[in-house]
Structure 1
Amino acid sequence: MIDAKASGIEHAMMKRLKVFQANKQVAMILTRDYNRTYHRNLGINGLRDEQALNMFDYFQEAVQTNIEKIVDPNKLIVPKDSLEIRKAGSWLYSLGDCLRMKITFFKEQNKRIDTVSIFDSFGHEVQRDRYDVRGFLSLRETLDFDGNVANETMFTPTGKIVYQSYYRRTPNGQVINSLLRLVNYRGNDYYFDNLDELLRFFFDEINQNAGSHNIFISDRSYIVEPGLVNMVTPRKMVCYAHNVITTVPDEPLTSPLFDEVKFELSSPRVDGMILQTAEQLADLKQVSHTKKSLAVIPSAVLDNTELAVANVPMKQRPAHRLITVARIHEQKHLEHTILAFELIKAQVPDATLAIHGYVNDDKLYQKLIKLIASKGLTAAVTFCQYTVDLSSAYQNATLYLSTSRYEGYGMAMVEALSYGVPIISYNIKYGPADIILDGNNGFLVKSGDYRKLALKALSLLQNPQKLQTFSNKAKQSSQRYNFRNSWKAWQQVLTTIERGTSHD
């Protein structure tokens, strides 16, 4: 799914799409999960409708941004003789003391309906209509007495029913999806036991519509793999490893492979796997002895606009502004970023730290805030809200710090280089050693040694001439992440896969 706050994997997919399309290779991002703000999210991330296709959008005949008939909330049928109360963000309708109907609105869209809830005479919600942000009724949920979804109905923008799903309660009380139905799809009804079967059908439809024998790249294996491996139309499938592939990330030679990786390496239905670094590929070969087709293609790539950005001289940037781009997650080990910054600020009093990334773990976020406060750094450390465009942040940054425990590669690091920001990072698996030329455009330090990381940062912050030299070399080193090099690697992989035998 492409969310408004897209993760590194989604950003990698979008960059790859641009590489393909810049080289006249027909390509599209396919997503599974239902999301009523999907098309708004595409726009936020700079994508057009024709560049991405969602499974439910496809079956709802709603692949376009503009919808002709936007539902007017004033024309909805409301309970007769009900008392109406209009508040900011919602309209309430009640009979006596009993709420019978509630309309809520999308905050970003004036008078665009978000949800309409219907209540029975006892105050129980019995129906919930969910509207697409584009303005049409998208999903109707019927609720049981306990408030659980009993069944769902999906509509086209014109109001035609195209999909229904039903739920049941297991003996242990769990509510599960028990049956899915496409209604009158191309003249027939189709029934599925679960979402994986529907996803397989979707992939086969897209494959057939595009002439079959297409190559599918699996980016989130745990979501899309069940659909891809069971396809019945001729196709090829390649799995892309965006992150580490062993259960203990920093011990790849002694810890087990993830189950999905084991499957991908053994299944004849998978045609190949792509890793992001040569080191990761070597580690995988050593522990698996696989004969599967493997290749190395970094996810990080920069377009011509990014590569052409002028390198703002350090003396024209705000002094001593440090930056890191990392979601709030244990993987990023931000405690060490903060501890390193404490040592830096003791020597450079006007230093500041900006942490860019969405909150993935609220408990950790609160813990980090307390750590910052305990160190007396509250005024100097800023958590910046997620934003797609970080160009201003990079152009005003002095250094980039990274204390991750593990990575797949490090796309934000490459972006930082393109703006002439030197990087000081833990030398972890995988990515930093491929990105950072130690002593040239940044420094690599032993994982966990935040004191050494702080010393390396100080060696640049306290030497403006050296800092500028590193900045110039950072900008120069970013040039290798151009579309041309990325496409050359992808061409080789696609050619190799295409020459194999199709899976029918």
Structure 2
Amino acid sequence: MYYFLTHTINDKLAGLEIAMINRLKIFREMDVPAKIVTFHFNRQLHENMKHWSIPESDMLSMFDFFQNAVSLPTDFEMQNDVEQITARLIEEHDGELDVQANDRAVSFLDRQRQLKARINRNGNLATSIEWFDRNGNLVRRDGFDTRGFLSIATFFGQDGGVAHEVMYDIAGNEVINSYYHEQANGEIGNTLLILKQNDVEMMFSDLDHLAAYFYDQISIVNGEQSTFIADRSYLVDKPLFLMKNTVKKYEFWHNTFTTDYSPEGPLVPVMENEINSGQLNGYLVPTRAAAVDLEKRLPASIPVHNISVALNDEMPTVLPFEQRDPDKIILVARIEEQKNISDALKAFKIMRDQRSTLKLYVYGYILDIKLNERLQDQVRDLGLEGSVIFKAYTLSKDEIYQNAQLLLLTSRNEGWGMVINEAFTYGVPVVSYDTKYGPSEVVTDNQDGYIVEQGDYQAMASKSLELLADDEKRVDFARFGVDAMRAFDLKASAERWKALLEKI
């Protein structure tokens, strides 16, 4: 069994988790058992899995594991019907509660018009029930898993913060008690977890130690040792290295590994800790250049293997350029400093000054609110209002790429740059900084796109305008890009992974 480790699967994902989901498809193609493993509590996990088409058989959550809820019985009856809960609460209070309902919640007030309880709802299903004391303070919140069972009760202390949590199995039995207190750094944090398993109580000082115990529990499958691949390293490394069982441990490094993005710079602290742990069997990196650079920095006892993260399991419809919006330029990046969106705006300013009808569409969720505000200010300062459109996060690749003329990429650093592959499958040429790592191994300069020097937004603007002005070249670039992506289809990707698994 191969386990791919991250913290959770959210409704909005970074390229790292998308790479993990793609890897699951490859392992299914090879008929090699594998699962994504998570250890953060997430009541929406299974709804998110549906969004990302992850079968239950390919996912293992620590809390599902301990709550006996990895998969629910076929005859399971949902416990969060709003009407049933409402009727029960009215009966328990002898009909003395006044009920007020709207599309978002059902509120219960006593004779003094004091709020006693509130059912938060999504249609006919309750998402949570909140309980209030005589002074109107929130004292308890019961949360339902999206599959319909009471999963957690959260109790709030005198300052309104979380003091205690109880997690339940699908039969309503207490499984985990979690306690919160002030820590040495002055912050309130999780200081004790008590797991009840097979009528035995076990205590853990924090979530990492509980996760290490969980990893040990799943480490042997059918009598064989499992292999753990850490993807979200900075979150999963501690429990991975706290394990008692001996297993194979690999780090999949999805990004640059130095603090200044140069191959010779100081290693990031997370990697320093991994190397010093003495437990690693090796690193996996998505680009050849990263493999060469990283190998120079590691002891000979830790091998580095190159394996691409990209996968194109289906080729979309490629629209002819004459059917696309002639002015649509796209940037696909979450709002954070790493993506260096400011440079893209500077490049686009030069482009828009030469061709006033151009529009830049920025697709991505907001990770840094203050940066988003600065980018909005920059748009105004550059006089680009109405020409730069920030779009909400969307799962629809057709919406993003199908109607576009060009993709810009200005990241300070990348592990691969999955958006390049996505753009090429839609026949969208790419103009990218020579970012470490990824773009130069996907884009063939002057064949399916352009690679310009890191930070040279003037060159990016110049190459983009050149390509926009040459219809024939743009068509050629699009064709070459689509052809290049055939090397990343499911079968080709599976062959590369088969060769790697023979080594590790």
1:338 deviates by 1.4
Letter in 1 for 2:210: L
1:501 maps to what in 2?
A: none
1:502 maps to what in 2?
A: none
Are the counterparts in 2 of residues 124 and 145 from structure 1 also a CA contact under 8 Å? no
Letter in 2 for 1:281: A
Give 3-state SS (helix, strand or coil) of 1:145's partner: coil
1:341 maps to what in 2?
A: 348
Give 3-state SS (helix, strand or coil) of 1:408's partner: coil
2:79 maps to what in 1?
A: 70
Letter in 1 for 2:103: A
Give 3-state SS (helix, strand or coil) of 2:466's partner: helix
1:449 maps to what in 2?
A: 456
1:252 maps to what in 2?
A: 263
1:268 pairs with one of 273, 278, 290: 278
Give 3-state SS (helix, strand or coil) of 1:287's partner: coil
Distance 1:170 1:484 in 2: 51
The percentage of counterpart residues that share the same residue type is 33
1:85 deviates by 2.2
- 1:399-447 deviation digits (Å, cap 9, x = unpaired): 1111111111101111111111110001111111111101110001111
1:162 maps to what in 2?
A: 175
Distance 1:290 1:74 in 2: 65
Distance 1:466 1:87 in 2: 57
TM-aligned CA distance change 1:172 to 1:406, over 3 Å: closer
**TM-score w.r.t. structure 1 length?**
0.92
TM-aligned CA distance change 1:170 to 1:318, over 3 Å: closer
2:379 maps to what in 1?
A: 372
Are the counterparts in 2 of residues 117 and 125 from structure 1 also a CA contact under 8 Å? yes
Letter in 1 for 2:286: Q
Distance 1:463 1:123 in 2: 67
Are the counterparts in 2 of residues 115 and 130 from structure 1 also a CA contact under 8 Å? yes
1:224 maps to what in 2?
A: 236
Give 3-state SS (helix, strand or coil) of 1:28's partner: strand
2:250 pairs with one of 238, 243, 258: 238
TM-aligned CA distance change 1:230 to 1:310, over 3 Å: same
1:494 pairs with one of 476, 479, 501: 501
2:61 maps to what in 1?
A: 54
- 1:315-374 deviation digits (Å, cap 9, x = unpaired): 222213111110011111111111211211222232221111111111111222222233
Are the counterparts in 2 of residues 326 and 357 from structure 1 also a CA contact under 8 Å? yes
1:82 maps to what in 2?
A: 97
Structure 2: give runs of 5+ residues left out of the alignment.
1-7
Distance 2:422 2:221 in 1: 37
Give the CA RMSD over aligned residues. 1.9
Q: For 1:379-418, list aligned pairs within 5 A.
A: 379-418=386-425
1:474 aligns with 2:474: no
Are the counterparts in 1 of residues 29 and 491 from structure 2 also a CA contact under 8 Å? no
TM-aligned CA distance change 1:84 to 1:267, over 3 Å: same
Are the counterparts in 2 of residues 113 and 133 from structure 1 also a CA contact under 8 Å? no
Give 3-state SS (helix, strand or coil) of 1:35's partner: coil
1:359 aligns with 2:371: no
Are the counterparts in 2 of residues 3 and 38 from structure 1 also a CA contact under 8 Å? yes
1:209 deviates by 4.2
Distance 1:379 1:10 in 2: 33
Q: For 1:264-343, list aligned pairs within 5 A.
A: 264-303=274-313, 305-306=314-315, 309-343=316-350
Give 3-state SS (helix, strand or coil) of 1:152's partner: strand
Structure 1: give runs of 5+ residues left out of the alignment.
498-504
**TM-score w.r.t. structure 2 length?**
0.92
Distance 2:467 2:63 in 1: 52
Give 3-state SS (helix, strand or coil) of 2:220's partner: helix
Letter in 2 for 1:146: D
Are the counterparts in 1 of residues 80 and 144 from structure 2 also a CA contact under 8 Å? no
